Structure 1
Amino acid sequence: MESDLSTSDYLDQIERLPTHEREGQLFWKLRIRETRSQLRHLFANSRLRTSLVISLSIVFWIGLFVLFYLGFDFVVGQVGLPGATYHAQTVQFVFTLFFMSLQIMLIFSSGIILYGGLYASNETNHLLTLPIRDSRIVLYRFQESLFFSSWGFFLLASPMLIAYGIVVSAPWYYYAYLPGLMISFAYIPCTIGAIICLILISRVPHLRRIVVGIIALLIVVVAYTSIWRTLDIKDADLLGAAWFKQTFRRFEFTREEWLPSTWLSNGLLEAAREETFDPGDLPWFESGKYLIVLLSNAMFFHVILLWVGGLLYRSSYYGLNSRQARQTHLRMAWIDRITEKLLWLLPRETQLLIIKDFRMFRRDPVQWSQFLIFFGLLMLYFANIDRFRQHRQDINVLAWVNIVSFLNLAVVGLILSTFTTRFIYPLISLEGRRFWILGRLPIERDAILWGKFLFAASGSWLPCAILVVSSDIMLRVSIQVIVIHQFICLMLCIGLSGMAVGLGAIMPDFREQSPSKIAAGFGGTLNLVLSAIFILLTVLLTALPCHFYFMANESKLQTQMIPAGNLLLWLSLGLIGVVLLTALVTIVPLMGGFRAFRKLEV
């Protein structure tokens, strides 16, 4: 009888819950108030920072737009306007491959961000104690992960698609369809990533690190297979007509009709096509069909997400947080002992802080899985880059090799800047919540920042150096170029680490627990933009003088206009400029970070 009463009471409580519509209205009011409060705080207390970030983002968008405009103008000049024989095939190949890549990235990023919002957030812990449906909590956190994971997609895709529309003189409905197509497309992979996250945590809470590692390894293997097949050319010249035909056939899987990326590409191509004199040919109607397909699938996965969230979230949350703790070992792990010996020149407290950060990095599958995926793919690319040289036997091969080697160096730097923004910049903000622990230790506050800086600089230098030297060996550049590249790589690691640590201490966010959201904020965006500018300036300061100097030496060309001595002086000044620029972007943010961190009260 008592059990029946408790069951009836429970059912009565369920019936008294607000309706789905009322619950949704309450959460939207909460989100609107939070957004308004954050914007008011930014424009009242951080006007300079906000205006700087917005200005740099606009400049970055315009730069991408110009780049895509020139690229599509070249393509249209080669294959013709929409309606030509090869235009649809060429542009569809570019669109489907581009959106397929972004589709996979959206799946991973949304799942990772949702994991932090649902299972490692104090706000979510509070929401679980309130009479709120589990599906509503999942939807509330999913909306945040959707925004933070897809803003990069809109930043990259919007200038490309607008530039394409201008180049091909697309009709007005192309731009009218554009927002709906992009939003509905981004919603589908983000919901898929969220569903995978919920199922993964509910089924294998104890093995999630192993599962994430296996998935990352599978992605690297699949990418390696694709790269190998694409570059495995025996009878066709690289970048020739036969090579393009073979590559087009090998990536045919990206144009499968069941993929959302294909729906988006076809919808854009149909909307950009002009109407013909055929009464049955209505491009705006065909594009509208693809928009309806994307919207209907987005709503379908939305319903599936709510159902899976209501079914699995609470049980997976309790299963993850109630698992049996492992028995702690007082002795230091072997990899930590090796790290300690490598840092023997540093003070003891700095060694321990670096070892602590390194241990946290190893224990976080989000960090090392992304590190494995991106650097693994770069290593596969560099390992196969010699195939390009095998098919280039003309007189310009030396100039081509020098250009590609510096482009590879810039790519490594840009990848490193994303990691310093994503993982190093939020370290100070995350440390602030447990700063009371560090405050009781017999160490100075400056030692904490020095530990973060040395951990980032030393930890990033080794993989970047290996990637750069692998690229140089495959391209068979001279030993002098290898030394210069390693020097630039070291400067990039020092500058990017100092910038991320310094700006992270100047602009901390102690209210947010998710590293992804901290990195996606104004401070993280500013750090990413400034890092990209620093990388481009560093590479340009050395690429041009190095290119002309070694071209002149190896080709034995001595010109009266630019003597060899002037080229050597130009190269030396470029290297000195890199040192000065690195010192500027390292010392200025770190000094500002030291001052801000000493005044910090938490």
Structure 2
Amino acid sequence: MPDAVANATPMAAAPGALALLRPKWQMARNRTRHQQQGDLRRMVVVSTVALGFWSVAFMLALKLLRYFLSAEDIGTLLASKLLAMILLSFGSILLLSNTIAALSNFFLSRDLDQLAAAPVGSGALYRARLAETAMHSSWMVALLLVPLVGAYGVAYRGGFDFVFFALAVFVPFLFIPAALGSGVTLLLVNVFPARRTRDLLSVIAAMAVAGLVLLFRAARPEQLARPEGFANFMQFVAALDTPSSPWLPSEWVSEAVVKYLSGKAAWQPLVRLWAVAGVLVGIGHVLYARGWRRAYSMAQEGATKRGTARTQRPLLDRVLAFLGPMRRELVLKELRVFSRDSTQWSQLVLLAVLLVVYVANVRYLPLNGNGVTVLLRNLIPFLNLALAGFVLASIAARFVFPSVSLEGRALWLLRSSPLPVRELLWAKFWVGAIPLLFLALVLVGATNLMLKVQPFVHVVSLVSIAALVFPLAGLALGYGTFYPQFDSENAAQIPTSFGGLMFMITAVGLIGAVAYLAGRPAARWIVAEHFGRARDPMDMVVPFAVALAVCAAGTVIPLTLARQRLEQLERA
């Protein structure tokens, strides 16, 4: 009898997936109920910015779709191809993001040691973590899809029932990369222990670079801008009508949405989406039931130390000797904290892959066809300056903004020491600014070389992007100091806070101002040179000087305010 009770107890006490998700839902609900001072203001600002972004994105997408649909013969084909290309990009990002997020949610989360010892079934744990992984990795893409899908519904005059159909289509689309990424992560962790992050992420990076480039090139987006490459109009229409990758979910979603809005039967692509999502979730269920505990056990292993004891100072220690003992140790501390945080490494791999795809596809821009002049090719880099600045702002938000928050309780230990605040901020600023500067020069320099721009344009764009690096790093550090999250367990979630949103808004304004001040006079110089008009170099002096002044103020003021803020925290 006692044995029977003992055997029945785990079955009765075993929680399901909803029970595992309930504590986090309750935590989120309690945070919304117990609002602190300033929460309402933050909510208003975030809501206003979100509505503004959605409105602009919706209007641009709607205007583009109506322009496509005005072409009677190929309008629907262009709209379908555009949606397929956008979803292909989103799907690639989702696959990589879910693969990286699954590493943390399934194997490195702090509460897994308790769940592994609790009477929790492998199926319930898999479903709960899969839902959590999909939600954390897909919420941004889902928000970006709202204005896009809404524009398609309005352009095609879809009814209210289109909302439910869109949900039925995009739910499996979001779960397919989550299930596939989780399965890939399980297989990789069984080969590479999750604590050996460098080895594991190097494999993920290699797979991601190859996969993203192949998938993006399979879409051949330059065909839309270069119809002259086809022998006749019918070949152009046939290329548009033929799916670039008929085996990808992005094509199925595009086909289902366009067919439904056009009044045609869309049940075949819808069935394919749900069937593939169900099969992948089922396979993941079986794989995690058989291999999760072994993989989780391997994830607790540390990396093996190679070599013998050092007989001399490390190379990086000797290279940074010119900084002095205090600054050298602070810089080394920042580098060690970054290298030991698997979440930071994961985000770095994701951004590196996107940058590779960004640079690699510049060569496919339709800038060598008929009607494309040297003038246009020399004006494109000024648009690239703004895009590269936005990329740098995103990277600063990922790595520089959370640096103060990641100190956690150690910040109070540092503040109780005789260490000056300016030295701590100095180390964090330069550890973030120097890699950003190197990346900025490589990004803009590589794209300029591919575009074969004039030396004047090359120099102006390089100097402008280099000047942008320092205020972006200063703003990220300043906002991160004013809006810290010392209790955060995941560095990737810190930039999604209110402070991260305010930093991105300020950064976009700064990038626009510098791109306008530096790009407008330089572009006028290029146009005047191209058409043989008179040029006055003094016309560029004032705008360039104002741009440098804006960059200097954007660097010094945030760092000064951040130092004062940290000193106030110490006195408080």
What is the TM-score when the length of structure 1 is the normalising length? 0.82
Structure 1 stretch displaced more, 474-483 or 63-72:
474-483
Corresponding residue to 2:155 among 130, 144, 167: 167
Name the CA distance, whole Å, in 2 between partners of 1:483 and 1:405: 11
Say yes or no: does 1:52 pair with 2:81. no
AA of the residue aligned to 1:412: A
Structure 1 unaligned segments of length 5 or more: list them.
275-282, 559-563
Say yes or no: does 1:90 pair with 2:71. no
Corresponding residue to 2:11 among 7, 12, 15: 15
User: Residues 415-463 of structure 1: CA distance to partner in whole angstroms, max 9, x if unpaired?
Assistant: 2222222222222222214436645765223322221111111111112
Corresponding residue to 2:187 among 199, 205, 224: 199
Specify the alignment match of 1:277 in structure 2.
Answer: none
Change (3 A) 1:485 1:526: same
Q: CA deviation at 1:232?
A: 13
Say yes or no: does 1:509 pair with 2:509. no
Q: CA deviation at 1:273?
A: 0.6
Name the CA distance, whole Å, in 1 between partners of 2:201 and 2:32: 36
Name the CA distance, whole Å, in 2 between partners of 1:588 and 1:59: 28
Say yes or no: does 1:356 pair with 2:333. yes
Structure 1 stretch displaced more, 208-217 or 103-112:
208-217
Kept after mapping to 2: 8 A contact 1:506/1:596: yes
Specify the alignment match of 1:454 in structure 2.
Answer: 430
Structural RMSD (CA): 3.6
AA of the residue aligned to 2:61: F
Q: CA deviation at 1:7?
A: 9.6
Corresponding residue to 1:430 among 401, 406, 415: 406
Q: CA deviation at 1:149?
A: 1.2
Say yes or no: does 1:261 pair with 2:241. no
Kept after mapping to 2: 8 A contact 1:230/1:247: no
Name the CA distance, whole Å, in 2 between partners of 1:437 and 1:249: 64
User: Residues 109-136 of structure 1: CA distance to partner in whole angstroms, max 9, x if unpaired?
Assistant: 1221232234333333444444433443
User: Residues 307-334 of structure 1: CA distance to partner in whole angstroms, max 9, x if unpaired?
Assistant: 4334333332221213464268555543
Q: For residue 533 of structure 2, give the secondary structure of its aligned residue in structure 1.
A: coil
Change (3 A) 1:70 1:326: same
Specify the alignment match of 1:105 in structure 2.
Answer: 93
Kept after mapping to 2: 8 A contact 1:518/1:524: yes
AA of the residue aligned to 1:379: V
Specify the alignment match of 1:374 in structure 2.
Answer: 354
Q: CA deviation at 1:489?
A: 0.7
What are the residue-to-residue correspondences of 1:552-563 with 2, within 5 Å? Answer: 552-558=528-534
**What is the number of equivalent residue pairs in this alignment?**
562
Q: Share of identical aligned residues, percent?
A: 20
Change (3 A) 1:137 1:501: farther
Corresponding residue to 2:393 among 410, 417, 425: 417
Say yes or no: does 1:581 pair with 2:550. yes
What are the residue-to-residue correspondences of 1:177-216 with 2, within 5 Å? Answer: 177-205=165-193, 209-216=198-205
Say yes or no: does 1:270 pair with 2:263. no
Change (3 A) 1:187 1:65: same
Say yes or no: does 1:495 pair with 2:464. no
What are the residue-to-residue correspondences of 1:565-576 with 2, within 5 Å? Answer: 565=536, 568-569=538-539, 571-576=540-545
Q: CA deviation at 1:518?
A: 1.8
Kept after mapping to 1: 8 A contact 2:402/2:491: yes
AA of the residue aligned to 2:176: I
User: Residues 548-599 of structure 1: CA distance to partner in whole angstroms, max 9, x if unpaired?
Assistant: 12211342224xxxxx44x843x33332332343344434433343233334
What is the TM-score when the length of structure 2 is the normalising length? 0.86
Structure 1 stretch displaced more, 573-582 or 192-201:
573-582
Kept after mapping to 2: 8 A contact 1:505/1:596: yes
Kept after mapping to 2: 8 A contact 1:410/1:536: yes
Name the CA distance, whole Å, in 2 between partners of 1:36 and 1:489: 42
Specify the alignment match of 1:278 in structure 2.
Answer: none
AA of the residue aligned to 1:273: S
Name the CA distance, whole Å, in 2 between partners of 1:28 and 1:216: 30
Kept after mapping to 2: 8 A contact 1:171/1:271: no
Structure 1 stretch displaced more, 289-298 or 153-162:
289-298
Q: CA deviation at 1:26?
A: 3.3
User: Residues 503-554 of structure 1: CA distance to partner in whole angstroms, max 9, x if unpaired?
Assistant: 1121111222112222233333333343233323321232222211221134
Corresponding residue to 2:498 among 522, 528, 533: 522
Kept after mapping to 2: 8 A contact 1:433/1:510: yes
Q: CA deviation at 1:27?
A: 3.5
Change (3 A) 1:289 1:248: closer
Q: CA deviation at 1:105?
A: 1.0
Q: For residue 122 of structure 1, give the secondary structure of its aligned residue in structure 2.
A: coil
Name the CA distance, whole Å, in 2 between partners of 1:43 and 1:184: 37
